[in-house]
Structure formats: structure tokens, C-alpha cells
Structure 1
Amino acid sequence: MTASASPHHVPVLLNEVVEALAIAPGETHVDGTFGAGGYSRAILEKGAARVFAFDRDPEAIQWGEALVASSGERLTLVPERFSRMRQALADRGVDAVDGVTLDIGVSSMQLDRAERGFSFQVDAPLDMRMSGEGESAAEFLNQADEAEIADILFHYGEELKARRIARAIVAARPIERTGQLAEIVRKAVGHRPGAKKDPATRTFQAIRIYINQELDELEGGLAAAEQVLAPGGRLAVVTFHSLEDRIVKRFLKARSGALPAGSRHLPEARASGPAATFEAVAKPVRPGEAEVAANPRARSATLRAAHRTVAPAWFSSKEGSPK
């Protein structure tokens, strides 16, 4: 697919994200998860002078070239993980921005392209790599031992039948296609036709998160956003399941002084510890009935937003290193 064929996709909670960002003409913003460009397009339409859009998926970068041209070069595409936004922006002469938007998880474009192997709705090669690089889902499942597979299904998919599914996966190897994996899971846990949720959903989620290191990437991206946001800058994060939302919620509570952090990326907050780096933490926002009816994928989405204070970031300029 060429750049001219880029899909015009309306992202989840678009109006709510734009409102949280409070975009003013002339500002500089980061869209950390470009995807089909929905948030970037909206930010540009609100008058932002520059938008730096990150995506590790080379297909998303290719599709975005048409929007770069139509934006009058106000949009810059960055083929990089959003956890590296501080260094990537510095390389482009930018030290601070007015807003950062993150839409976490797999994009609709990735789900809808069967050959990417993210979905079991259509049988396809079992890939799941957002960047197209590194170990594929099939390679992992065919090489990992049963205990490792079970741990990943339990921790990243919150799958209570993880051991049973892992045992079935190992017994059925080699596994090469999405349809094959989905059927293995269904047989392992029992599948009632017409059930509201396919039993393979959690397994696919867990493997995708593991392959793409999504939770580590989210934690690193939040810390990077803290580094690049100017005082008064706005952060807006949309998540799609409890594991992601828990990380964002904990980050904002810790960074606003509401509670101690518990992640290796989030040092313990103490009375004598760092000053709060975020304030005006908004209540979580979820899609209304109309949006869910129009886009069922929106049903589990949650938006969390906050404003950057003048306090220095809890991390040094070197990513991943606490002060």
C-alpha cells in the first residue's frame, strides 16, 4: 500500500483527547503513536505549528507521508519508539514541547492487515511484530518452554488457564498461523459458540504485549514525556486494558505526589523525595455509548490526562536512569 492510500481513521476518544491537550496556535506537540494519523491530523487542524509523530511501524511511517505533504511540512514523522522521544527530539533541535499524546497498544491498521498476524479473525502468518524486526510470535511459541509461555499468558493476558493453554501450545508445535493458535486455545479451554468473548483473545493479547515489550515501552514513554514536556505542557494517554491503565494511573499518582510508586521505572516517593512533576490530574474518561456503538474497539478505552509542573523530571537526561 502506498502513502496515498493511507487510511483516514478516527481514533478513539478524539474529541476528549483534543480537549485535554488544550492546543493553542503555534505550539509544538508529540504524537507518540502515529498509527493512521488521526490524532496528528486533529492537532494540526487546531493550529499546532509543529507535530512530531513517532511510530516504530515502517508501514505507518510510509502511510503518513501524504499527511506530511498536506500539512505544509508542519508534521515530522519519526521512525522510532516513543520511549526514545527525548533523544529523538534533541537530535532535531527540540528541547521541550507543549503536549504529548500516547494511544497505547495495537493500531487498527495493524489489526486490519491480516498478514501482520495480530488478529485471529482471519487466518494468517503468526507474526505480531510492530516494527517488523526481532522475534516473531511464531518463533517465540515454537522455541520457548512451557513454563515461560504460561508465565507470559498469565502476566500479560491475565489468563487464569495459562498453564493448560501453554501445555496445549507445546503439544501442538510447530505453530505458524493465527488460526492454528486460536483453535489450540479454544480446544484447551473450551469454546461455547456464540460466547461474547473468544477465549483466544487473552492469549493473543499476552503474546503481542510480550513480543513488542509494550508495558516496558509504556513506562519508558511516560518517563520520556515527563522529560520533554515544558512547564504547563499537557499529557494525554489512551489505554485499552487494565494492565496499561494501571501503569498510567500509578505513574500520574506518583508524579503528582498522591502515592508512592511501585515500578522499577518509578522510584519510591518520600516526603523528602522529588517534587511533583504533574498536576491537574483529570478523572479517567471513557467512551460514550454512541462511540462504542460506532467503534466496538473503543469499549475498553480509558483516557488519563495531566499538566506538567515546573519541577525537574525525576529522571536524568539519560533514559532509564533515575536521578
Structure 2
Amino acid sequence: MDDARHVPVLLDRVVDLLAPALDREGAVLVDATLGLGGHTEAVLARCGRARVVGIDRDPGALERSTQRLASYGDRFTAVHAVYDELPDVVADLGLAEVGAVLFDLGVSSMQLDLPDRGFAYAVDAPLDMRMDPGSGPTAADVLNTYTADDLARVLRDYGEERHARRIAAAVVREREREPFTTSARLVALLYDAIPAPARRTGGHPAKRTFQALRIEVNDELRVLERAVPAAIAAIGVGGRVVVESYHSLEDRLVKRAFTAATRSDVPEDLPFVPEGHEPALRLVTRGAEQAGADEVAANPRAASVRLRAVERVRPRTRPADEGVAS
């Protein structure tokens, strides 16, 4: 695989958002979703005073990115972890705080490009979908063991699939004949289970089911719900948290955490904010930023990106500063 072909979405804008927080000697960025290291490489190249701690749960991604970034020496540290373990990673490295945290959510280009990982519905592959191939149940395990009600819940909540119950019933019926092992059989079932008018809109009929299974297998939303407040708590004054989301479920969680962290704790009808009760963070982006038409044309994955950023402006003094919604 040619890593150079896998340019991260909104790369220049992301680095621009991170740079002010990294403009001091020894500033640390935690790239919480290291992947192939594209964001980290750009930060190391453009922010010469900073170093990066790259976290990924995928050992293959860590190996490839470590090779890619070897020329930066001790300015880069790779850590095998899930990104909600960020507080432990920071503590283990002896850091009291960090300058910035970056999340580029969803499945990586490398994972999509390796057929045996089972993330892509365009090729027949084992139904795995684990971001860490050595840990936890697979997508096949979910399909073959969950009750119809639990399957429908996963498809509805994580895939926003309108035909969740119909698909779940078909899966349960078909697995009695033979357990699910590869993606092609699941894709064929989805073509049969989803009514023809629905198949003609909203993209590939397998898209929502595969998204839902991937989120369930990797516990992505619950991990994110813990990770964003942890990142907010980890940054010092002037530090920033930058998040790229690729579907509404992720973006909703990020928006909620950022809103909580940038909200004052005084009643809304109070005409002024008393000293000491100002929000500890401010929004850096106005709403969610999106990719431009040229980038979307060059990289279709950019079409769904939503980019948000916050900055700490005061030291953390209250639990509300951690970005936990009440």
C-alpha cells in the first residue's frame, strides 16, 4: 500500500487548528487515532518544537506508522491502547498535561484496504471488523449469537437503519441454516431484506449495517463518550482538542461534550457571569466545519467529515470543565 495516497481529510486545516497549542518547546500532541500517521507526520514537520504521542488499538497501524515516522526519533512515541485510555497513557509518560489532542474517528484507510479485516462490503472477506484483531468478539460473533431484539437495537441505534427488525429477523432465520462467516453472504441477505425502493436511495444497502456492526464490535460510541471528556481534562491552558467525525452519532457526542465544556455554570437568566464562573474552554470552530468541493471530489471520504475544536482558556477547577454533560 502506498501511504502517500492516503491523505488525511482536512489535513491543512487540522494542523492549523493544532499549531497554536504546540508552539512551545516540548509541547505534546496526543494523536489518539494514529492510523497510518498522516496527521502526526504533518504536525512533526510543521510544528518543530512539538512531539507527538500516537495511540492506536491496531498493532498493524502502529507498526506501519512507527516505520513511517522513524526519522523523527524521540519526537514520536507510539502506544498500543484504546483512546479512552488516554489518561493512563498520559500518566504513564509522566505528563501532567498535554498541549493538544486529536481524534480522526471511524475506520482507517489501511483497515478498509485490507480485505481480511472485513470492514469493506465491496469484497468478500471474513466478518471480523475488530480494530484490534487480537481482542474481543468479531462481527460474525455478533451476527451468530445476538438475539433478534439485540441485533435490531444495534442496527437501529448505530446504523440508523429503518429496516432493522426486518434485517435482524432475516439474520436469525439464515444463521439457523448456516452461521455467518463472510461478508458476501451478509450483503446478499441485505439486498433481499431491504425493500427495493429503499435500496435505490441512501447509498449501498449494506452501508448502515456494516457501520452498525463495526461500532458494536469496537464499542466505538461508548469509548468516544469517555474519551472526549478525558481529552478535555488532559489539556493545559492554551491547549486544544480537535475532532473529525464521519457520521451524526459521533458528531452528536462531540458536540454535546464541547457544549458542556464551554458553558458557564451560572443560571442563563443572570445578566452577567460572576468572576470565577467563566467557562474554562471556548469553541474554536463555529459549529462543525466541512470539507470543500475540491477535496470531496479528490477524496470522497471527505464528504461526511465534521470538524470541531475547543481550547482551554482557564485552568481546570470544576468537574464541569471536563466536558461532562449534565
Q: Does the Cα contact within 8 Å between 1:96 and 1:229 map onto a contact in 2?
A: yes
Change (3 A) 1:187 1:48: farther
Per-residue CA deviations over 1:191-218 (Å, capped at 9, x if unaligned) read 5787661111101101110110101111
Q: Take 1:217 and 1:33, find their aligned partners in 2: how far apart are those partners?
A: 12
Local SS of the residue matching 2:124? coil
1:238 alignment counterpart: 244
Q: Is the 8 A contact 1:280 1:307 kept in 2?
A: yes
* CA 258–155 in structure 1, closer or farther in 2 if over 3 Å, else same: farther
Query: Within 5 A, what are the aligned runs for 1:123-272?
Result: 123-132=124-133, 133-173=135-175, 174-191=179-196, 197-257=203-263
Q: 1:207 to 1:275 in 2, by over 3 A?
A: farther
- Post-superposition offset of 1:309: 2.7
In the other structure, the counterpart of 2:37 is 37
Structure 1 residues 274 and 60: CA distance shift in structure 2, 3 A: farther
- CA distance change for structure 1 residues 296 and 314 in 2, over 3 Å: closer, same or farther? farther
Runs of 5+ in structure 1 lacking a partner? 261-270
Which digits, 9 at most, give the CA deviation of each residue in 1:131-164, with x for residues without a partner? 1111000011101110000011000111111000
- Show the 5 A alignment for 1:105-124: 105-124=106-125
Distance 1:310 1:122 in 2: 50
The residue identity in structure 2 corresponding to 1:29 is L
Alpha-carbon distance, 1:7 to partner: 2.1
The CA distance in 1 between the partners of 2:239 and 2:323, in whole Å, is 22
With normalisation by structure 2, the TM-score equals 0.87
Q: Which runs of 5+ in 2 are unaligned?
A: 267-273
Corresponding position: 1:282 with 2:281: no
Q: 2:81 — aligned with what? A: 80
CA RMSD of aligned residues (A): 2.6
Structure 1 pair 279–195 and aligned structure 2 pair: CA distance change class (3 A):
closer
* 1:286 shift after superposition: 0.3
Number of the residue aligned with 2:269 = none
Higher CA-based Rg: 2
Q: What SS is found at the alignment partner of 1:42? A: helix
* Structure 2 Cα separation of the partners of residues 255 and 321 of structure 1: 7
The CA distance in 2 between the partners of 1:279 and 1:140, in whole Å, is 40
Q: CA deviation at 1:25?
A: 5.1
Amino acid of the structure 2 residue aligned with 1:151: R
Deviation sequence 1:49-92 (CA, Å, 0-9, x none): 31000000011111122134211221100100111111111111
| Aligned equivalent of 2:310 | 306
Partner of residue 301, structure 2: 297
